[in-house]
Structure 1
């Protein structure tokens, strides 16, 4: 019988130093590092359009939309997680020298076959540990459909929006988000 192999967990500091020089992004989950897969054009188009629409609607206010190069850090139950969401909205930003934000109000992920399970499960649960987090959006990439998890006093309520004429009310940010600009011209939208 052989002894179990000891796995050395990476520190947050080592991960951040490594990530600064890396050619490919990785996410940090409590000491484990996972490489991120590349995305399809449909995924990137929806994510880019989302970022543009959020930025336009938030302009001049206290909140800003951030792209997928900005990590969100979650510290919970003695563990640290660092994710690269497709988009986020932050109203209380970290200092400019940081490479992550700790207090997003909204986090959005565009679903793909390789990330769906993680985005709908693990990430949703981890992100919900952030006291600042009010909204978690899951956007389909091939059809006009968005699932919204909205924080209430007790939990997160689930809402679904579909069709080009749908508009997501985001009173937490003082804006609305129409789906038509996100999905215009996309197959099955």
Structure 2
């Protein structure tokens, strides 16, 4: 991620820029952050997990959304992009906005060298301000390693998975996610 300038932007200015920008850009309380491009493995991992979740949850009340929909974090005055999100029902939109959601249950981030620390720390802290948010997956793209954070009774627990033979129980949507599905056709 790269800050575009040191100038501060109003939310309306950001939204006007974001609607016509060639690259995705996030909004962080007045600062516009341009998102960097991904790698082949990042794209493949995201395609695998999105396709699997979309297929397995297709006849349920859950909605699986890709990285095109911005997540608005009111407490932090931030608009960010997650790699994938799951909602209970249709996403609750931010007022009359059609491009900003408010209420994911589960968020997925595929880690990149340039964003890994941010995804683990500041972004995760901001995500925790979402009342509905209760499950977080961090997925390595350069080796088999998935981290899962799960909230139960306002306490976050951690588990990790490093074998293609393992599966993750996604408690928020009550499904098993095989690690092998995440890393299907990936060359390390």
Is the CA contact 1:138–1:146 (under 8 Å) kept in the aligned structure 2? Answer: yes
Aligned-residue offset at 1:9? 2.4
CA distance in 2, matches of 1:131, 1:163: 32
Matches of 1:159 and 1:112, distance apart in 2: 20
**Alpha-carbon distance between aligned partners in 2 of 1:174 and 1:149, rounded to the nearest angstrom:** 15
- Aligned position for 1:57: 56
Q: Counterpart in 2 of 1:10?
A: 9
1:85 pairs with one of 82, 85, 88 = 82
Structure 1 or 2, whichever has the larger Rg, is 1
Determine if contact 1:143/1:186 at 8 Å carries over to the other structure.
Answer: no
Q: Distance in 2 between matches of 1:9 and 1:54?
A: 38
- Aligned residue pairs, count: 180
TM-score (structure 1 length as normaliser): 0.89
SS in 2 for 1:10: coil
Deviation (angstroms), 1:97: 5.5
Q: Identify the residue that residue 3 of structure 2 maps to in structure 1.
A: none
Q: Which 5+ residue runs of structure 1 have no aligned equivalent? A: 1-6
In structure 1, what is the equivalent of residue 27 of structure 2? 28
Supply the RMSD in Å over aligned alpha carbons: 1.6
d(CA) in 2 for partners of 1:169, 1:54:
12
Give, in whole Å, the separation in 2 of the partners of 1:173 and 1:187: 29
Q: Match of 1:129, SS?
A: coil
Provide the C-alpha distance between the structure 1 equivalents of 2:167 and 2:111, rounded to a whole number of angstroms: 19
Q: Provide the rounded CA distance (Å) in 1 between the counterparts of 2:77 and 2:28.
A: 7
Contact 1:164 1:184 in 2 (8 A): no
- Provide the residue aligned with 1:38 in structure 2: 37
C-alpha separation in 2, matches of 1:52 and 1:17: 31
